Structure 1
Amino acid sequence: MSERVVPPAARQRRRPTKQGVVLSEELIVDTALRLIEEHGADALSVRRLGRALGADPSSLYRYFRHTDDLMLAIADELIGRTLRTWRPTGDWRADLRDLGLRMHAGALAHPRAAVLSSYRVTGRTYEIQAVETILGVLRGAGFPDAEAVRIYHAFIDQALAHGALDSASAAMPKDAREAEAAVWRATYARLPADTHPHIAATARRLVADMARSSYPAALDLLLGAAAGRLAEIRTRSGQPTATPDPSPEAVT
């Protein structure tokens, strides 16, 4: 795509496409998401999108300057889909845990798109809403601004990184995924204790644990550390403190 774009007010297509649909930014993003999951990054071509939409490829310039502009819109839509399903309860730790898990699940629902978009900064509506929301949860819990920003940064990077990691694995061919999973059983579980005592001692747990994502455990560790930090802050300021119970998922 080129650098030219039509202002938002003039974007509405007045006539249906060949398939009888009226183009919109939302329809283009949804179609691009579907094509990415089917074909990978190659789906983000004007020609392929035009064919899928039944529209002249040049009509896409009314909505997006170029394919990178579309990629940012896709990244923002993934954030929006998470936010639209999340409902805060007022318990900062539970709310952030729920939001993080929803972000991770959203990435796995669109693994190829998540891998392409997880490292992007969109500056768009839903991303701005997410930053405002998470900082609001942290500041409302009592974290000073510097701590709120530091924990926000760790929280969001952790969620995006694990989402991209697990999405990349999910996007692998089934045979490749199964072959990698088998390595833990065929190699690690059979290493002798005299040469690899620590692996041998934990082999059964390794085989079981490495088969699933580490994100829930990593998230609990991060939020537990944040809760400990908040308790320290409250102690220094003379506020009442309470040690939160660990989440059930974190107890083994």
Structure 2
Amino acid sequence: MSERVVPPVARRRRRPTRQGVVLSEELIVATALRLIEEHGAQALSVRRLGRALGADPSSLYRYFRHTDDLMLALADELIGRTLRSWRPTGDWLTDLRELGLTMHACALAHPRAAVLGSFRVTGRAHEIQTVETILGVLRGAGFPDREAVRIYHAFVDQALAFGALDSASVALPRAAREAEETVWRATYARLPAATHPHIAATARHLVADMTGSGYPAALDLLLEAAAARLAGIRARRDGAGRPAAD
């Protein structure tokens, strides 16, 4: 798509496409997600999308100004799917852990799109809602504002980074993934203690752990550190008899 602006009042198609469907932002985004998972980033072309939708490619400009506009909408849709799958409990540690795992699972469900969108800031409704929600969980737990933002930043970037890393692995051809998993058993597990004592001593754990994602362990470490910081903040508050400074 090239840069092209269509007035908002003209952005709704009322007639069905050749396939008998009425275009909408939601339909275009869902179709784009499907095409990306099937064909990769090159699927984000107005020609291919138009063909898949049975619509004149130019009609897509009623909804998205250019390809990057659509990419931001795709990234925001993945965030929205995470929110719709998450059920808060009221316990901040449980809620952040479940939200992180849900973000990661959503990325793995759409690995190619997750890799493309993990580093984008959309400024759209679902992202804004997520920022508000996570900050609300942290402030509600008792973190001062500055600390809440720091933990929010680390939490989100960790989830996005692992989502992109693991999604890139999932998107590899099966033969390549299996070959990489074999390396841990065929190479690392056979290194002699005489030359590689630490690898040899931990080989069985490496084989068991390194073929899966490191995200759950990393998430637990982050949340444990956050809980320790909160305990320290509460102790200082109790000791001083007043709220800790933000």
1:12-51 mapped onto 2 (5 Å cutoff): 12-51=12-51
Question: What is the alpha-carbon distance in structure 1 between the residues aligned to residue 38 and residue 61 of structure 2?
Answer: 23
Q: TM-score, normalised by structure 1?
A: 0.93
- The gaps in structure 1 that reach 5 residues or longer are 240-252
Question: What is the alpha-carbon distance in structure 1 between the residues aligned to residue 216 and residue 167 of structure 2?
Answer: 15
Question: What is the alpha-carbon distance in structure 1 between the residues aligned to residue 174 and residue 9 of structure 2?
Answer: 45
Cα displacement (A) at 1:6: 2.8
2:136 corresponds in structure 1 to: 136
1:62 corresponds in structure 2 to: 62
Cα displacement (A) at 1:8: 4.0
Cα displacement (A) at 1:9: 4.1
Q: Residue 87 in 1 paired to residue 106 in 2?
A: no
Aligned-partner residue type, residue 211 of structure 2: A
SS at match of 1:123: coil
1:109 corresponds in structure 2 to: 109
Cα displacement (A) at 1:10: 3.1
Q: TM-score, normalised by structure 2?
A: 0.96
Aligned-partner residue type, residue 92 of structure 1: W
Question: What is the alpha-carbon distance in structure 2 between the residues aligned to residue 9 and residue 211 of structure 1?
Answer: 52
Cα displacement (A) at 1:88: 1.1
Q: Deviations over 1:13-57 (max 9, x none)?
A: 111000000000000000000000000000000000000000000
The answer on whether the counterparts of 1:5 and 1:63 sit within 8 Å (CA) in structure 2 is no
What percentage of aligned pairs have identical amino acids? Answer: 84
Question: What is the alpha-carbon distance in structure 1 between the residues aligned to residue 108 and residue 70 of structure 2?
Answer: 20
1:148 corresponds in structure 2 to: 148
RMSD over aligned Cα atoms: 0.9
Cα displacement (A) at 1:12: 1.6
Aligned-partner residue type, residue 170 of structure 1: V
Question: What is the alpha-carbon distance in structure 1 between the residues aligned to residue 140 and residue 68 of structure 2?
Answer: 36
1:3-14 mapped onto 2 (5 Å cutoff): 3-14=3-14
1:168 corresponds in structure 2 to: 168
SS at match of 1:211: coil
Cα displacement (A) at 1:75: 0.0
Question: What is the alpha-carbon distance in structure 2 between the residues aligned to residue 14 and residue 217 of structure 1?
Answer: 50
Question: What is the alpha-carbon distance in structure 2 between the residues aligned to residue 86 and residue 62 of structure 1?
Answer: 32
Question: What is the alpha-carbon distance in structure 1 between the residues aligned to residue 204 and residue 215 of structure 2?
Answer: 20
The answer on whether the counterparts of 1:79 and 1:127 sit within 8 Å (CA) in structure 2 is yes
The answer on whether the counterparts of 1:108 and 1:170 sit within 8 Å (CA) in structure 2 is yes
The answer on whether the counterparts of 1:108 and 1:167 sit within 8 Å (CA) in structure 2 is yes
- The gaps in structure 2 that reach 5 residues or longer are 240-246
Question: What is the alpha-carbon distance in structure 2 between the residues aligned to residue 101 and residue 7 of structure 1?
Answer: 40
Q: Residue 158 in 1 paired to residue 168 in 2?
A: no
Aligned-partner residue type, residue 225 of structure 2: A
Question: What is the alpha-carbon distance in structure 2 between the residues aligned to residue 44 and residue 183 of structure 1?
Answer: 35
Cα displacement (A) at 1:87: 1.6
